[in-house]
């Protein structure tokens, strides 16, 4: 019961903040609300007893990625609100397709959860540091390394694009 | 109910109050120590030898006019000091002040929580504090605070890498991420990690100075260049919150250093039987003593060293400390496997 109350309260807060992220007009507020949203997601993980995931959520998303967004927003100074484009519905097509795709995906996930038998509960809790490290450096070593190389390439690419003369 | 609700709340209240009182007296201690270094007397007027100065300071800060600049962003201007202070306080949840003791016929642990990811918790919570600084600079809508907050956040982010790397080598040596576990590992291995990991300790200490914006890395508050730093536009209690945050962060760094490198609540030479008479001093007193030594070194360094230049700061961080920290992790890991 207490678990359910915690979950639904946190879920409601997360959704409310997510709606505010996309509706608020000030870009900086939007980024900060996103950080707050990530903090509540971390609380959700913590309430499910997965502290490692919660801590990583805070460290990587709330304090890492969003902080970079905040930097960008502050440095390019978007204080003046952008003027209304003459054709506000110009992205309606793309937006509609994307929304439909996400909706379809959610429906598929929901259906598969209902149709397939639930996965067998793991013998021991999977969230511990040892288990995640073991999985990351044995079975999933190649995806892990490839992902890190991709990030490195993206970073080098961004520097090359931003600084024409090095 | 007493074990799950009352005792944790009591512990939280005690720790919070102790930290806040310690912070006010840290300000006095800092003024006194710097005065002694400069052959002055320091505050002498309020109470004998000025010991009541913190109370006068608090009264002054509370009754001072609290100015909000007209062109500032009101919401963020108010929120920024809180965002700076709260992470500094909630880190204390995982700091172990002592082992389990029995008090009033009940076994009480002298820490609020023993997480199995405590070290990561400290890093991640502390990194939230950067938001407070950068938002303070931005919300003031004023040149110098903005420049200072950009400097401060660049500095924090750069030194966080090196500090986190040293924490990795501590985790490898101890084989656990729990703060209590790390203290116990130092007991089992019979050595304070200060002696087993001198390089990690050195990097952690420099990084700690830089992350708390203390001299010689107090560039975000360089009065000569920035008229006072990211809190230039703040006054009254909101300014005091930034001050509290800075000193609370110093205490955080000192107590984390004590836990990781000086064996937390352990007495000196915990495995030497001859020194058993030292056990009459309870563990939490050892902890506080060691933490106090760190805090004193913080002040001593501030009174002694001149400020670094910005490019020197960045060079030291990226070209010296981070490579050393990575090398330290590799050497620690190799030795751990070989030995």
ipTM of the complex: 0.80
Q: Do the Cβ atoms of B120 and A74 come within 8 Å? A: no
Question: C-alpha dihedral over B3, B9, B11, B17, to 10 degrees?
Answer: -170
For B99, phi and psi rounded to 5 degrees? -80, -170
Structure token digits, residue A152: 């490195």
CA distance B124 to chain A (A): 5
Burial of A36 (0-12, 13-18, 19+ CB in 10 A): middle
Q: Do the Cβ atoms of B116 and A32 come within 8 Å? A: no
Averaged pLDDT of chain A? 81
DSSP, collapsed to helix, strand or coil, labels residue A99 as helix
**Cβ count near B169 (within 10 Å):** 26
Looking up tokens 């300014």 gives: B239
Per residue of chain B (339 residues), give pLDDT as tens: 677 778 888 888 888 888 888 888 888 888 888 888 888 887 778 778 878 888 888 888 888 877 777 777 778 888 888 888 888 888 888 888 877 777 776 777 777 777 788 888 888 888 888 888 888 888 887 778 888 888 887 888 888 888 888 888 888 888 888 888 888 888 887 778 877 888 888 888 888 888 887 778 777 776 667 777 777 777 778 888 888 888 888 888 888 888 888 877 777 777 776 666 667 777 788 888 888 888 888 888 888 888 888 888 888 888 888 899 899 889 888 888 887
CA distance B114 to chain A (A): 12
Q: Report how far apart the first and last C-alpha atoms of chain B are (Å, whole number).
A: 46
Instruction: Give the pTM.
Output: 0.83
Residues in chain B within 8 Å Cβ distance of A65: none
Structure token digits, residue B298: 């913080």
Could you tell me which of B146, B161, B123, B233 has the C-alpha nearest to residue A77? B146
CA–CA distance, B311 with B309 (Å, rounded to integer): 6
What residues form DSSP beta bridges with B108?
Answer: B101
Q: Do the Cβ atoms of B130 and A62 come within 8 Å? A: no
Who among B120, B134, B138 is closest to A59 (CB)?
Answer: B120
Could you tell me which of B26, B134, B117, B139 has the C-alpha nearest to residue B73? B139
Q: Report how far apart the first and last C-alpha atoms of chain A are (Å, whole number).
A: 60
Number of A to B CB contacts under 8 A, please give it: 54
């Amino acid at each position: 019961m207490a678990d359910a109350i915690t979950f639904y309260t946190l879920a409601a807060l997360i959704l409310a903040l997510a709606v505010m992220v996309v509706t608020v007009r000030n870009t900086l507020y939007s980024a900060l609300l996103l950080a707050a949203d990530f903090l509540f997601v971390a609380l959700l993980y913590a309430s499910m007893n997965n502290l490692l995931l919660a801590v990583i959520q805070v460290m990587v998303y709330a304090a890492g990625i969003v902080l970079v967004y905040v930097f960008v927003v502050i440095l390019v100074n978007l204080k003046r609100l952008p003027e209304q484009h003459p054709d506000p519905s110009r992205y309606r097509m793309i937006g509609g397709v994307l929304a439909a795709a996400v909706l379809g995906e959610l429906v598929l996930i929901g259906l598969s959860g209902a149709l397939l038998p639930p996965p067998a509960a793991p013998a021991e809790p999977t969230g511990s540091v040892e288990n995640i490290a073991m999985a990351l450096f044995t079975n999933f070593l190649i995806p892990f390394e490839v992902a890190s190389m991709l990030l490195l390439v993206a970073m080098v690419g961004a520097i090359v694009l931003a600084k024409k003369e090095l | 109910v007493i074990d799950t609700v009352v005792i944790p709340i009591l512990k939280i209240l005690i720790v919070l109050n102790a930290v806040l009182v310690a912070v006010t007296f840290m300000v006095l201690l800092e003024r006194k120590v710097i005065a002694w270094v400069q052959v002055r007397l320091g505050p002498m007027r309020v109470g004998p030898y000025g010991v009541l100065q913190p109370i006068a300071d608090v009264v002054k800060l509370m009754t001072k006019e609290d100015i909000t600049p007209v062109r500032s962003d009101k919401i963020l201007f108010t929120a920024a000091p809180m965002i700076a202070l709260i992470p500094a306080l909630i880190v204390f949840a995982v700091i172990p002040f002592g082992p389990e003791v029995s008090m009033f016929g009940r076994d009480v642990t002298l820490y609020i929580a023993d997480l199995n990811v405590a070290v990561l918790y400290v890093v991640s919570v502390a990194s939230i504090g950067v938001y407070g600084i950068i938002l303070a600079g931005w919300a003031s809508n004023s040149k110098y605070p903005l420049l200072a907050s950009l400097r401060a956040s660049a500095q924090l982010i750069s030194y966080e890498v090196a500090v986190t790397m040293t924490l990795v080598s501590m985790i490898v040596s101890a084989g656990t991420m729990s703060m209590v576990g790390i203290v116990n590992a130092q007991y089992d291995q019979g050595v304070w990690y200060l002696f087993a990991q001198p390089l990690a300790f050195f990097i952690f200490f420099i990084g700690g100075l830089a992350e708390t914006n203390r001299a010689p890395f107090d560039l975000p508050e360089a009065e000569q260049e920035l008229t006072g730093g990211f809190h230039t536009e703040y006054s009254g209690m909101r300014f005091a919150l930034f001050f509290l945050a800075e000193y609370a962060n110093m205490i955080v760094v000192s107590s984390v250093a004590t836990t990781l490198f000086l064996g937390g609540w352990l007495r000196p030479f915990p495995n030497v039987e001859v020194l058993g008479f030292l056990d009459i001093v309870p563990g939490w007193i050892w902890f506080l003593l060691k933490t106090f030594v760190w805090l004193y070194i913080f002040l001593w360094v501030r009174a002694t060293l001149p400020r670094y230049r910005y490019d020197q700061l960045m060079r030291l961080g990226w070209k010296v400390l981070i490579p050393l920290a990575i090398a330290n992790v590799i050497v620690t890991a190799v030795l751990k496997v070989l030995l």
